[in-house]
Amino acid sequence: MNIQKTIAQLRDELHQHNYNYYVLDAPTISDFEFDQLLDKLQRLEKEHPEFSDDNSPTQRVGGAVTKNFETVTHKNRMYSLSNSYSKEDLLDWEGRIKKLVDGEVHYTCELKYDGASINLTYKDGFLHSAVTRGDGEKGDDVTANVKTIKSVPLKLSGDFPKEFEIRGEIILPIDGFNKMNEERLEIGEEPYRNPRNTASGSLKLQDSAEVAKRPLECLLYSIKSDNLNADNQFESLQKARNWGFKVPNEAKLVRNIDEVLSYIAFWDKQRHYLPYEIDGVVVKVNSFTQQDELGFTAKSPRWAMAYKFKSEQVSTLLNAITYQVGRTGAITPVANLEPVELAGTIVKRASLHNADIIEKLDVRVGDSVFVEKGGEIIPKIIAVDFTKRLPNSSPTQYLTHCPECDTRLVRVEGEAQHYCPNYNGCKPQIIGRIQHFISRKAMDIDGLGAETVTLLVNAGLISNYSDLFDLTKEQVIPLERMADKSAENLINGIEASKSIPFERVLFALGIRYVGETVAKKLVKHYKNIDAIAQSSYEELKNVDEIGEKIAESVKVFFESEENQNILRRLRSFGVKLEIDESELVNQTEKLKGKTFVVSGVFENISRNELKKLIEDNGGKVASSISSKTSYVVAGSDMGPSKRTKAESLNIPIISEIDFLNKLV
């Protein structure tokens, strides 16, 4: 038989056996027989390297060593989910949904797997890349490591799209985790803390052969494709199963929120019998058309909600209260605790938030306190065990002066937090602002991390973020852990950041209350930094979605002589402080002052493209119809209640062609 054909047949046969064993849990041959086939394929591939294939089953044993994981921008952003903790939260969510979409709403309920999020890309039926979630915009390429996970198909079967992304969670089953810990204890090593952290850490191991030794699994739950040929979430899960992915059968299609609550109640009790850990249930609007109509907030999809099971609580001793200074000068009190295990990790510190919370809880040093992980992530004190309070205990007196620079703290009326007003002289504020400036969603400076910023400030090399652009390689080489190559990368990263778009530069400046969304609104309205700086308080308030607090904060920032000097330096270094002409090519003010609601399915352009056209031409997109709506752009399958409301308010309903003609 032809060698190339034999190799191809062996690969197909082994792919199928992998699928039978690791996905279907229904092997058709013994482990010995599988190993025999794999050995034969490895031998043939070694003898005939001209027929090598990165997606061969032999690649699952690992061997590739990755010293630095490449950072990759996600084609489709990986949003986080909004959380709910009660029936009332879910009913409120359902109420918001029904205001925004018409018709009956069905839901897909899925278990919320407790692992590490992953985004897999397939091209022509073969695994092309595997990228971690990262910050949602960018993640690390861990393809070599993920190829070693047996439940990740390297080759698909069926009617899959030519190219698509599929998202899931890398998890470590409980039995496998326990076995790993037994082996570590036998050799005198510390056991791993929990399956979730161990799974996440496995993806960043440098040697993929080590990853291959770990019993990781990949559970999939979401497909991103322009030609999926499925109308809803539940159908897409079935398609993924048919192509070869491990999609848990616990997912269920339900008709209403009562059935959602029944599903949650069942799994809250039954979760302890699962082979892997879950921390809740994810509820998704089933219809893709309705999902599309609901869209996204700045952080999460409106059509999905994570219901989190009740947090684990423990009791421990409060040894001390210390205070941290943030980049805006905000003071955060921190409880220093007697170390205690909580949800698989050792907790030593917990946030006390502000003076009001301390007073409300009446928490004092020496108290026994109850601690839980809010949203299973951040430890917080929820109550004091007053039965164990010491007789000589006295109420906590909140800090009056900054713990770093000894400046007297201020508290603005109506705000919960105290602030250190020493904006330019308080070191944690200086370091925090620069760390924010270089962060991924801001200037994204390669080669420069938070620790290096601290070193640079402490060495007196920088005192604000404009100083970064004055640094030389010779200045940074003497820093701790800084070699010739890393110093060169840092300087190159700073130089490359000069091409970052203006809206991200504005966000990077760290103006209080000016997040990513507000920065985009200001940039779209004003086009350059000078126009923003010269705008009056009243003018700022008239910008879309800019309220009094934001307007006041922007004015205070630009009135500072120190900030004006920093901006002049940034301009002299070539940092972008205005929109590029190329960005303005397709932008007009033709729709200025007009508010649009987009509803239905469109033929010529996608819903997102239509919304972008509205915003690029000065209009505003709203999610629901009101008396302020100028037009409803209607596609096919527009909901009858939306049409009725538009007609009752005498709001014009136009087609996508009518809309496009307005831009001509």
Amino acid (one-letter) located at 74: H
Structure tokens at 256: 């209403």
3-state SS assignment for residue 87: helix
- Annotation marks residue 213 as catalytic: no
Q: Which amino acid is at 388?
A: K
Q: What does the alpha-carbon distance between residue 1 and residue 167 come to, in Å, rounded to a whole number?
A: 40
Strand order in the sheet with 252-254: 83-84, 304-308, 278-285, 107-113, 252-254
Please say whether the beta carbons of 222 and 167 come within 8 A: yes
3-state percent breakdown (helix, strand, coil) of the chain, nearest 5: 40, 20, 40
Are the C-beta atoms of residues 523 and 506 closer than 8 Å to each other?
A: yes
Please tell me what DSSP assigns to residue 58: G
H helices present in 328-420, as ranges: 355-361
- Per DSSP, the residues of 434-460 read HHHHHSTTTT--TT--HHHHHHHHHTT
**Rounded to an integer, what distance in angstroms lies between the CA atom of residue 86 and that of residue 307?**
8
Which positions ≥6 away from 432 have C-beta within 8 Å? 325, 326, 327, 328
Residue 213 CA to residue 60 CA, distance in Å, equals 10
Which one of 112, 138, 308, 576 is the catalytic residue? 112
Q: Read off the tokens for 61.
A: 């044993």
Torsion of CA 61, 205, 167, 215, to 10 degrees: 50
CA-CA-CA-CA dihedral for 225, 231, 235, 240, to nearest 10? -10
C-alpha 184/C-alpha 169 separation (Å) is 25
DSSP state at residue 410: B
What is the C-alpha to C-alpha distance for residues 113 and 251, in angstroms, rounded to an integer? 12
By annotation, the residues acting in catalysis are: 112
